[in-house]
Amino acid sequence: MNARRLTLLLCTAETLGMAGFALFAALLPEFQTLWRLSNTEAGWIGGGFFLGYMLAVPLLTGLTDRHDARTIYLWAMLLSAVASAGFALAEGFWSALLWRLLAGVGLAGTYMPGLKALSERIDGAAQSRAIAFYTASFGLGTALSFILTGELARLGGWQLPALLSAVGAVVAWALVWRGLPDKPPAAQPPRRLLDLRLLLGRPVLAYCLAYAMHNLELFAFRAWLVAFVVFAADWRAQPAWLSATWIATLATLIGMPASILGNELALRYGRGRWLIGVMAASALLASVLGLGAALPFWALLLLIGLYSLTVTADSAALTAGLITVAPASHRGAAMALYSCTGFSGAFLGPLLFGVTLDALGAHTLAGWWAAFGLMGVLLLIGPAALYWARERERAVGGCATPVV
């Protein structure tokens, strides 16, 4: 199978398998009313998805150094189908949290193992671009999940998108089972399942920390965007002429070309330099986004769109950079470490956002400004880590693996 067909296959499967990604975030205001959730409880459910991912990804992705990533992918996609269907049975905080945890485990066995399956079947310059498209397809799957969840819930209640998301995961399973050829991993010397000794250099750690802060900002934004738009419309006492789920969908779709273009610009101008610049710009926009609720609706949309560009323009460049600096023999373990640290940020972001809203008031402009601002401040840890690694590499005369 050539590189283009393989990339298209795995991107399509990824998009379909993520149909249940926004089952909670897209209907967050409705669930808060239905189940009488506090903002902190809503943050737990929103972040619980990524908690499940974080707990499972070290094992599932690490296994791809010993077993074909295709096998792990197929079993995990079936779990994703079960978790999406099970969410239709949720009756409150604890049951919703359980099903979202399981959905996160399913994603842990599909997203990075799928990337591993793709990267080890493609070589040369095509590999970086395939990674960029695959990474960007995460945004496409998220966007479609937002709009399908919102629109299907209007037609048949919130249980309908949960059930149809399970169907999407089953179709994704069938595509990969039928279309992706087996590829046993290359033989490696015996070692522990997650031997991280070769990964503890500054470049790998810097990318892991930067990815954690990227995800903290990105998934807090996606988890709370619908609720923020609803708040903005209520605060101005003016109805929005575009639904909150459509805004979340469009904001997420913007991220797909931004991620691909960001990787191309990183290749042209230097990955470290690009990532430091774009993450600093995103932090600056986060510090003012919460105040956008006071703007006219068109201006708020413009601000959200601009932020959507910066919040994702580093995504593919970070992942491609990690794969570049990781030792080939430990690439699966490197991706496991990267995902685990990265999605610890994805778990904490929605939770910290909700805690901030509860502390300062979800019905106040100051509460939303502080919540978004906190994400921006924490994001700055990412470029600081990349700069730290780059300066260390310069200090030792370029002998260390560079932050490319």
Q: Which of 373, 362, 378, 371 is nearest to 28 (CA)?
A: 362
Asked, for residue 190, whether it belongs to a domain, the answer is: no
**CA dihedral of residues 211, 307, 282, 378 (deg, nearest 10):** -60
- CA gap 25, 27 in Å, rounded: 5
**CB 153: neighbour CB atoms within 10 A?**
19
Type of residue numbered 301: L
341: CATH: 1.20.1250.20
pLDDT value for 401: 44
Asked, for residue 193, whether it belongs to a domain, the answer is: no
pLDDT value for 398: 45
Start-to-end Cα distance in the chain: 30
Angle (CA) 26 346 325, round 5°: 135
- CA gap 183, 252 in Å, rounded: 33
Contact 276, 313 (CB under 8 A): no
Q: How many domains does the chain have?
A: 1
Asked, for residue 187, whether it belongs to a domain, the answer is: no
Asked, for residue 186, whether it belongs to a domain, the answer is: no
**CB 323: neighbour CB atoms within 10 A?**
19
Type of residue numbered 110: T
Tokens of 345: 């940020």
- CA gap 35, 58 in Å, rounded: 33
Asked, for residue 171, whether it belongs to a domain, the answer is: yes
Asked, for residue 272, whether it belongs to a domain, the answer is: yes
pLDDT value for 320: 82
Q: What is the pTM of this model?
A: 0.79
pLDDT in tens, the chain (404 residues): 688 888 899 999 999 999 999 999 889 989 999 999 999 999 999 889 989 988 888 888 778 877 888 899 999 999 999 999 999 999 999 999 999 999 999 999 999 899 888 888 777 667 777 887 887 788 788 889 988 998 999 898 999 999 999 999 999 999 999 988 887 766 555 555 555 555 566 788 888 999 999 999 999 999 999 999 999 988 877 666 778 888 988 998 888 888 888 888 888 888 888 899 999 999 999 999 999 999 988 899 999 999 999 999 988 888 888 878 777 666 777 777 887 888 889 889 999 999 999 999 889 999 999 999 999 999 999 999 888 877 555 544 444 444 55
Helices 271-289 and 202-236, axial angle in degrees (round to 10):
30
Residue linked to tokens 């774009």? 278
pLDDT value for 383: 92
* Residue 101 belongs to domain spanning: 3-180+199-395
Asked, for residue 25, whether it belongs to a domain, the answer is: yes
Contact 161, 69 (CB under 8 A): no
In the 8-state DSSP scheme, what is residue 199? G
- CA gap 336, 353 in Å, rounded: 26
As to burial, measured by CB atoms within 10 angstroms (0-12 exposed, 13-18 middle, 19+ buried), residue 131 is buried
Rounded alpha-carbon distances, angstroms, from residue 290 to 13, 37, 401: 35, 22, 39
> What tens digit of pLDDT does each residue of 72-120 get?
999 999 999 999 999 999 999 999 999 999 999 999 999 989 988 888 8
As to burial, measured by CB atoms within 10 angstroms (0-12 exposed, 13-18 middle, 19+ buried), residue 61 is buried
pLDDT value for 69: 86
**CB 36: neighbour CB atoms within 10 A?**
10
Residue linked to tokens 């998009």? 15
Contact 316, 118 (CB under 8 A): no
Asked, for residue 192, whether it belongs to a domain, the answer is: no
pLDDT value for 1: 63
- CA gap 55, 236 in Å, rounded: 41
Tokens of 352: 């910290």
Tokens of 186: 């290359």
